[in-house]
Amino acid sequence: MSLTAYLDKGASLGPDAACLTCGDRTMTYAEVQRHSRQVAGALARSGVLPGDPVAVLSANDPTAFASVFGIARAGAVWCPVNPRNEAGENRELLDLFGCTALLYQRSYAPLVAAIRDRLPRLTTLVCLDGEGDRGDPSLADWLAGAPEAGDAEPPGGLVMLVGTGGTTGRPKGVRLTDRNVETMSALTLMSYPFEGRPTYLALAPLTHAAGVLCFPVMALGGEIVVMPAPDLGEFLALVQGHRVTHAFLPPTLVYVMLDHPDLDGTDLSSLQCLWYGAAPMSPHRLEEAIRRVGPVLGQLFGQSEAPMMISTMSPAEHLHPDGSPARERFSSAGRPTPLTTVAVMDGEGRLLPAGERGEIVVRGSLVMDGYHRDPQATAEASRFGWHHTGDIGYLDEDGWLYLVDRAKDMIISGGFNVYSAEVEQALMAHPGVQDCAVVGLPDEKWGERVVAVVQARAGTALDPADVRAFARARVGGVKAPKEVLVWADLPRSKVGKVLKPDIRAHLMPTTGA
């Protein structure tokens, strides 16, 4: 299935049904289809050929997302651009992708102005919501008079190029095919509850997890309610007002929701599945979410290179048959999905038995087509015939997958391996900790010392010595932080992930290193 096939499948179930809603504006399936044909025709008129990369730079917006299906209908390749990246990183990505066209929102015109002169292949620029930089046409003017186009096949099945940062700091382009997206969509539909026509609330960026989760929803003719900006009060109101059935929140935003004063007074009974993922979640807060939101929490684990569904834990799997919380599973990443083979490997390519820690590796049609124009990185990620996730973990005797840490985040202190994620989980059990991050900093005595940066819950004052003692009682003296810093907030990516490199960069000058 091409990306357009999900839209067309939904339209076949009801062309006049709501497809994309934002505020008081709704586009039906038929309207999104018509828009996609117009965009496809305008792209062809502008010289964009099947296989050409076309970038979209926008906040969450129905018109921008509807235009993605025009890119797909033209047989071109969708390149979602993260607006919060530095201009230099986005320029490097668009150059790597070889983008020939860019659709952007007017609010990002300064970013476009900063990069366009260094992208000679970028010849078509269109402003989605008015006249853009240097007289770039508005979307309406660009579409005027363009013939509606039919479907064109993407060469090699390539439908998405997704930017991702590497351990070197240089961005890479993940090549995702129609088969990758179809596998992900099938796994979504078989792993979680879907009853009736779903209503999906997209709070997180459509350039990331929230966007690809739209495809299985559209295959069922569901409605996608788009939030332009993350606001947990508005999120709760929209769940109640639109009778939302499905939504995705990273753990950091689940914590904010749990602390929101409107939570307990909001009717959330329509929810069938509230997905969480993209970072480890505190088992303590997960149990609180199940108790207060309902038995609807569903976990997913994946990465850009194997999108979303390497392993899953459905809402039902969070509970025992008698309805009691399955606490012993709350720190796991679920079970490997049916169409994905997952194993744990040592550095020599040997697969390890249950319980032994190593790198999590994956096989199956969920895995990317490789890194764009980077054969060396592709070969490194696929050595020994498996895709290497960069995550350290293990499988238990019952097949549950546990993530211990990112390989690059492991700290070696006094000759011992310290997994930052394990220390973070211990800290998150502290009743006053809203969120935290653990990093290793250079130390003359220990090689690296464990440092924790914590964010207090609203109305709570944290004593660093108390937090250190709390962690020490749970993980021991070797793993416990040697230093605890209390910050008002932690630096985060657009999808809510804590940015450890930013924390390290901030702390390094204060250490004398």
| Span 401-456, pLDDT tens digits | 999 887 778 888 877 788 888 899 899 999 999 999 999 998 877 888 999 999 99
The pLDDT assigned to 419 comes to 83
Q: In what order do the strands lie in the sheet with 447-456?
A: 433-443, 447-456, 483-487
Instruction: Work out the burial of residue 444: count CB atoms within 10 Å of its CB; fewer than 13 is exposed, 13-18 middle, 19 or more buried.
Output: exposed
Question: How far from the centroid of its chain's Cα atoms is residue 386's Cα?
Answer: 22
List alpha helices for 74-108, DSSP H. 87-97
The pLDDT assigned to 292 comes to 97
Instruction: Work out the burial of residue 484: count CB atoms within 10 Å of its CB; fewer than 13 is exposed, 13-18 middle, 19 or more buried.
Output: buried
Task: Please give the model's pTM, rounded to 2 decimal places.
Answer: 0.86
Q: Which two tokens stand for residue 444?
A: 């003359």
Q: Which residues of the chain have pLDDT under 70?
A: 165-169, 494-495, 509-513
| Span 493-510, pLDDT tens digits | 766 778 898 998 899 854
3 state SS of 96: helix
Most distant pair of Cα atoms in the chain: their distance: 71
Instruction: Work out the burial of residue 385: count CB atoms within 10 Å of its CB; fewer than 13 is exposed, 13-18 middle, 19 or more buried.
Output: exposed
Hey, CA dihedral for 276, 278, 279, 280, is it positive or negative?
A: positive
The pLDDT assigned to 169 comes to 56
Q: For the chain, which domains are there?
A: 29-175 (3.40.50.980), 410-511 (3.30.300.30)
Neighbours of 412 (CB within 10 A): 12
Beta strand residue intervals within 235-375, DSSP E? 246-249, 273-276, 297-303, 306-313, 335-336, 340-345, 358-364
Rounded to an integer, what distance in angstroms lies between the CA atom of residue 501 and that of residue 420? 14
DSSP state of 436: E
Q: Which residues of 274-288 are buried (b: 16+ CB within 10 A; e: fewer)?
A: bbbbbbbbbbbbbbe
The pLDDT assigned to 168 comes to 42
Which residue(s) pair with 484 in the sheet? Answer: 452
The pLDDT assigned to 495 comes to 64
Q: In what order do the strands lie in the sheet with 171-177?
A: 124-127, 101-104, 53-57, 77-81, 158-165, 171-177
Instruction: Work out the burial of residue 347: count CB atoms within 10 Å of its CB; fewer than 13 is exposed, 13-18 middle, 19 or more buried.
Output: exposed
